[in-house]
Amino acid sequence: MIHLKKLSTLNLLKLLVLVLALSCSQTKKKTKKTTLQKSGMNITNCYNYNNLDSVFLIKLKKWKEYSDLAEFINQYKKTTPREALNNALELKSLTRKAKDSNTIKTLKTSAFNARINVFENEVLRLADMTYIPAISPKQVNKQIENVCSSFSSLNLKIMAIYKKDKFNDSVKINEAFQKIR
């Protein structure tokens, strides 16, 4: 009977060691996978968006917050996911300031407001990613693309608004000349 107790205790010990060994090896695999995932956070990627021409920048010189935002977002042209996440909260703040400080009457249209809202939402999503510990570099890169794309759309709308105004002004001048004839 004593021999059976020693045998079952010995088997129990072997089983316990086996379970611990297996759990440790699974932990190592998970750690290795997480390390590989995190290492992708330091790979630099390039992103493109449409900038405003100097002609349009002159028209926006009263809107200093937009200039600050445009200057800051230039950092996102060539960045790593880690850098993008580190700068996301400041980008969020600059975006909010730019959105709230628009005093240019020409840009107070629903189409422009829609684009700046979309841009702000993309920036907010990027800022929210800073609070997700298991975020993948691929997800961050995709969101940076979305931010750059929406900023490009915002710039294209600014150019379209000013080109439309220029066209309307030229048409009014032609009408005045025709009345004189």
The 10s digit of each residue's pLDDT in 113-165 is 999 999 999 999 999 999 999 899 999 999 999 999 999 999 999 999 999 88
Model pTM? 0.72
The 10s digit of each residue's pLDDT in 62-96 is 999 999 999 999 988 899 999 999 999 999 999 99
| pLDDT reported for residue 101 | 94
Quote the CA–CA distance of 120 and 117 in Å, as a whole number: 5
CB 123 within 8 A of CB 91: yes
